Structure 1
């Protein structure tokens, strides 16, 4: 098992486009459906795997382009340290002063390491200067416990970061 790190920062309005943050239903609309419904299904089916938007279910990061992976680690502690570094790099821009607390940021690192060690995924979101939103995720891979059928997006040697 290894872990991939993902980071997305962008307009909150774009983040709120939930249709592009979830995979299309596996079955297309039935024959005779409204043309706009059929077209929307096609758009979502084509765009979901390509868009850089964070998926609603963290494990679905694994179907996104490999270029979105910000790092890969074998050890949960190493992945959690990457998360901690990203939190530190963005903390002064957090909209809430409580989220900037060094004690809170250290607690997020420790809880991430513990969750990853149990095979779970980690996902955090923060408002930065409005209207910007930051999404950070660490996803277990090979296998992902929530969705073991999802393949690893990388064929590179694990251990970068």
Structure 2
């Protein structure tokens, strides 16, 4: 098992474009950079959207904490980053996805996602890096 990291920050009103966030035909899903409606659906996106891949929960959680701090100045007043990182480690150890997202202003959304691969909730979705490595027919 390994973990792929994804992120998206932008105008949070764009999250209402649900058709781009669901893997249905003619939806624009594959080309969209908006976060999918379900975490495991990140694995359906092109491998170029992956921001990093880690083989240990600790390395993945370190990336998540660093990116979260960069995108959310002042952090989360209710849950300090060290406690947040420890919770992420526990989730990743159980092969669970971890999502840290929040509004950083009235309209700006910031989201950071660690997706377990293979994904226990979506076991039929292949790894995007292995899918990308296959020669085309």
TM-score, normalization by structure 2: 0.87
Judging changes above 3 Å, is the alpha-carbon distance between structure 1 residues 17 and 134 closer, same or farther for their aligned structure 2 residues? same
Which residue is 1:87 aligned to?
Answer: 68
Once residues 71 and 87 of structure 2 are traced to their aligned partners in structure 1, the CA distance between those partners, rounded to angstroms, is 19
1:67 aligns with 2:48: yes
Does the 8 Å contact 2:20/2:34 carry over to 1? yes
Which residue is 1:23 aligned to?
Answer: 23
Equivalent of 1:104 in 77, 80, 84: 80
Once residues 131 and 154 of structure 1 are traced to their aligned partners in structure 2, the CA distance between those partners, rounded to angstroms, is 33
Once residues 93 and 10 of structure 1 are traced to their aligned partners in structure 2, the CA distance between those partners, rounded to angstroms, is 18
Residue correspondences, number: 131
Shift in Å, 1:152: 0.8
Does the 8 Å contact 2:68/2:100 carry over to 1? no
Once residues 105 and 93 of structure 1 are traced to their aligned partners in structure 2, the CA distance between those partners, rounded to angstroms, is 10
SS in 1 for 2:116: strand
| Larger CA Rg, structure 1 vs 2 | 1
Which residue is 2:119 aligned to?
Answer: 144
Residues 10-45 of structure 1, C-alpha deviation per residue, up to 9 Å, x if partnerless? 111112212221222xxxxxxxxxxxxxxxxx431x
TM-score, normalization by structure 1: 0.75
Residues 25-83 of structure 1, C-alpha deviation per residue, up to 9 Å, x if partnerless? xxxxxxxxxxxxxxxxx431xx1122111011100000111111011000011100000
Does the 8 Å contact 1:5/1:69 carry over to 2? yes
SS in 2 for 1:43: coil
Does the 8 Å contact 1:93/1:129 carry over to 2? no
